[in-house]
Structure 1
Amino acid sequence: MNDQLESLGSSVAGLPLSVWPTGQRSPLEQLRDAGCVPGTEIDDERIPPAVAAHAIAVYSQPGDLVLDPDCGAGTVLAAALSAGRDALGLTGRTRWWSLARANVTAAKTAGAWRDGSVLDARPKVLATARAAGLIGRVGLVLTALRTEAGSANGPDRDLVESALAGVAATMFYGESLLRSGGHFVIVARPRRRPDGTLADLATPLIAAAATAGLAPVERCVALTAGLRGSRLVTRASLAARRASARARAAGLPTALPTHHEVLVFGLAHDVELAAAAASGGPRPTRLAVNGPVHAGRRRAA
């Protein structure tokens, strides 16, 4: 796992680091225990239920609205509802919309009483969210970095770069939706470039966050491997094992994935205020962020 952890990058070296023991159960056991409907497992880029539940418990409050702007099969929505939060998901793919709706329904049938909705829409709809009254209402944005092949327009399109650009746009759209004290959390499994090297995901995500008016507050390693004393028990899927075997056969040694990388952001103004309070310095009166000023930043200033 060491080479995977190096993908966190030097740009986040000064952030608090935490390790989440979220791989104690297998992926299918997690889906079963979370009450997810059959078919959810086909969403290979889903946020595991244990990771979603941990993030929701730590970075939101009961009664908060949890938003997943690219919700896939809806594991985040199900976890949010089960934890007593409202949930709103967006997806532009009919297959995921049906599964996410089914998982919301399953959570409610199991006793969740908060409001849960899934919209057939892509994250860019957040740019028009003012009309929906979501400005300043979201307690937690929790989403995955998705590199689904269907998002590429051609064989030469870099799926990792495309996914990073999509999340950057989502952060820009979604910053103004966060309430004061809210968090924007991105979960990303390690990705490798065609030459076998690990992609640096943290650096471009932190840069995009700064442009959007967000500041990093924590980096986390969400384990997908089980802990057995001091040993990790890999729970990689059959597809991941086959991909690793093909890479090794081609002379590109790779390790099976054992964790997801998690980056936690807050409103930049909130982070500045917290830093000023901790240092005893003067309270900042305006938000200094590079890039154009938009409604969310004017709100925070």
Structure 2
Amino acid sequence: MPSLSVWPTGQRDTLAQLRDTGCVPGTETDTERIPPAVAAHAIATYTRPGDLVLDPDCGAGTVLTEALRADRRALGLTARTQWWTLARANVTAAKTTGAWRDGSVLDARPKVLATIRAAGLIGRVGLILTSLRTAPDRATGPGRDPVESALADLATTLLYCEPLLRSGGHVAVVARPLRCPDGSLVDLATPVLAAGTSAGLAPVERCIALTAGLRGSRLVTRASLAERRAAARALAAGAPTALSAHHEVLVFQLAHDAELAAAAAVGIPWPTEDEVIRPAVNRVTYPGWGRAA
């Protein structure tokens, strides 16, 4: 069955999802976390049991928890002590309930993925799943826009991550809707797609992960109190604003893999494994890399 571009991931509110998955208290303070239901759907769609799932900016660790619960291996990175403590606690909680045992969190920035410390991960990651984090503390100077800073960080992170992706693997970036001061939506998809392309990845899917519940043909929003108050203020000012009902998910593959898939879709025979060697990534050639069966 083809994968759906609209994911029904909002049937439970986010706090209920955290309780259902056994996340430790405090996880809810990570307001830019990937909701557990969204992480679980992405992991089930793009990986198999035993695959390695990487979140290079894992926050409180919801992606890691869902990967372990789905019998996948999990690795997360974060440079913030607060998130590292919560992510480790969530990984430990998942393991104590019988989840997959191979999960860890590194107190490090994504740049470590481009060093010799990550050499053993080259070509072995099945899914890189992360969110676009736009907290104000990401801005590095006065007047620096946190969204622009987050997009620049994402572009660099994807560049570090690209060599780690195995043939046939996926990269999924989750972006929650943001609004400009005038109430209009910020176009996040265009710069995220550009960031992936500049890292040597090819966009293959653009999905909507619902954060609203489905009730027949209606959407039941689960907006926060702050979002509802902002919508009320906008309405009073004569500029009605819709409440958030989804996150956007941009999915990529290695450019070479995407080309092979496109060729297969139109009936062009794929070369044999001996004929296909993965091209250089980040200007480095890794001999012996062939297309996975």
TM-score between both structures, scaled by the size of structure 2: 0.90
Deviations 1:173-196 (A, max 9, x none): 101000010000000111112232
The structural deviation recorded for 1:252 is 4.2
Q: Which residue of 2 aligns with 1:125?
A: 112
Q: Which residue of 2 aligns with 1:152?
A: 139
CA gap 1:92/1:218 in 2 versus in 1, 3 angstroms: same
1:176/1:296 contact within 8 Å kept: no
1:97/1:120 contact within 8 Å kept: yes
2:91 to 89, 93, 104: 104
Q: Distance in 2 between matches of 1:296 and 1:248?
A: 56
1:44 to 24, 28, 31: 31
Q: Could you tell me which amino acid in structure 1 is paired with residue 166 of structure 2?
A: R
CA gap 1:171/1:296 in 2 versus in 1, 3 angstroms: farther
CA gap 1:111/1:172 in 2 versus in 1, 3 angstroms: same
Q: Distance in 1 between matches of 2:153 and 2:85?
A: 22
Q: Which residue of 2 aligns with 1:95?
A: 82
TM-score between both structures, scaled by the size of structure 1: 0.87
Task: Tell which deviates more after alignment, 99-108 or 192-201.
Answer: 192-201
Q: Which residue of 2 aligns with 1:215?
A: 202
CA gap 1:248/1:286 in 2 versus in 1, 3 angstroms: farther
The structural deviation recorded for 1:205 is 1.4
Question: Is 1:280 equivalent to 2:267 in the alignment?
Answer: yes
Q: Distance in 2 between matches of 1:257 and 1:231?
A: 14
RMSD of the TM alignment (CA)?
2.3
The structural deviation recorded for 1:150 is 1.2
CA gap 1:250/1:69 in 2 versus in 1, 3 angstroms: farther
Number of residues paired by the alignment? Answer: 284
Question: Is 1:195 equivalent to 2:182 in the alignment?
Answer: yes
Q: Distance in 2 between matches of 1:287 and 1:85?
A: 25
The structural deviation recorded for 1:217 is 0.9
Give the unaligned 5+ runs of structure 1: 1-15
CA gap 1:159/1:251 in 2 versus in 1, 3 angstroms: farther
CA gap 1:125/1:68 in 2 versus in 1, 3 angstroms: same
Q: Which residue of 1 aligns with 2:68?
A: 81
1:160/1:191 contact within 8 Å kept: no
Q: Which residue of 1 aligns with 2:48?
A: 61
Q: Give percent identity, aligned residues only.
A: 74
Q: Distance in 1 between matches of 2:84 and 2:98?
A: 21
Question: Is 1:20 equivalent to 2:7 in the alignment?
Answer: yes
